[in-house]
Amino acid sequence: MFIDSTPSNIRRLSSFDRFRFSCHGGLSCFNSCCANKHLPLTPYDVLRLKNALGMHSDDFLSRHTLYNVDPGTGFPVVAIRMEDDPGRTCPFVSVRGCTVYADRPTSCRLYPLARAVSARTGGEVRKEFYYLLDAPACLGTREDPVRTVHEWVADQELGMYLTLNDRMVDFVLRVKTSLGRPLDERALHKVVVALYNLDVFRDFVASTNLLDALNTEEYLRRRVHHDDLSLLELGLVYLRRALVS
């Protein structure tokens, strides 16, 4: 998801700035942040969640997500479908907390922080910063321990999430620059299948000569039939060829 403006410099945190936060069942607000939210999912978020739940990607997307289109890029914005109850609770939360905690999405791992990054072109160094979300009802922001942003990112095992999400930022902006317009319906369908609906994409790969057409490297060719992370990598290769070349 892309935003037009970012918080002022006063609110920005570097990796070594410190903040206070802890979430636990002893807080009266426990689980309240897991409801009535617009919670976007990245392709890697979807990969982790559908595998954790043992679901086919098509079933996961149909049952647990909604999507609309980012007006600036034409790219899909996939988000968790909240339950149809008065509180619009997350389908993956229980009275004891998150039931998919080990595979929770990027935004849940980052909370109470958010992160913004710049696109990287050529040899340019990527710029990133963090900021605390405005959550006055969250009692966890008054709890110890105090830690740095860097420590929080490591503790929440965000490394792979952020690496892949940054690749998506570069890819989306590259496509936007190359096309000079938002995606059309045909291109949008390709993006949804190749990045979010990986099990359908795997069937497509197996039934076509796509691997040969893309001159796929041998290491990737061997892995895409059983490894979703490799399949996601192939999806990006395919889309660069289909949308940018």
pLDDT at position 5 over 60: no
pLDDT score at 1? 42
Band the pLDDT of 205: cuts 50, 70, 90.
Answer: very high
- Using CA atoms, how far residue 242 sits from 46, 68, 236, 238, in Å, is 22, 22, 10, 6
pLDDT score at 117? 85
Phi, psi of 139 (to 5 degrees): -75, -15
Q: Are 20 and 143 in contact (CB under 8 A)?
A: yes
Any idea which residue has 């918080």 for tokens?
Answer: 7
pLDDT at position 179 over 50: yes
Band the pLDDT of 3: cuts 50, 70, 90.
Answer: very low
pLDDT score at 89? 95
Q: What percent of the chain has pLDDT over 70?
A: 93
- From CA 148, how far away is CA 166, in angstroms rounded? 21
pLDDT score at 127? 81
Band the pLDDT of 4: cuts 50, 70, 90.
Answer: very low
Taking only the tens place, the pLDDT of each residue in 53-91 is: 999 999 999 999 999 999 888 899 999 999 999 989 999
Taking only the tens place, the pLDDT of each residue in 9-43 is: 657 899 999 999 999 999 999 999 999 999 999 99
Band the pLDDT of 245: cuts 50, 70, 90.
Answer: low
Two tokens, residue 220: 């990737």
Taking only the tens place, the pLDDT of each residue in 97-150 is: 999 999 999 999 999 999 988 766 665 667 888 999 999 999 999 999 999 999
Note the pTM of the prediction, 2 decimals: 0.92
pLDDT score at 6? 55
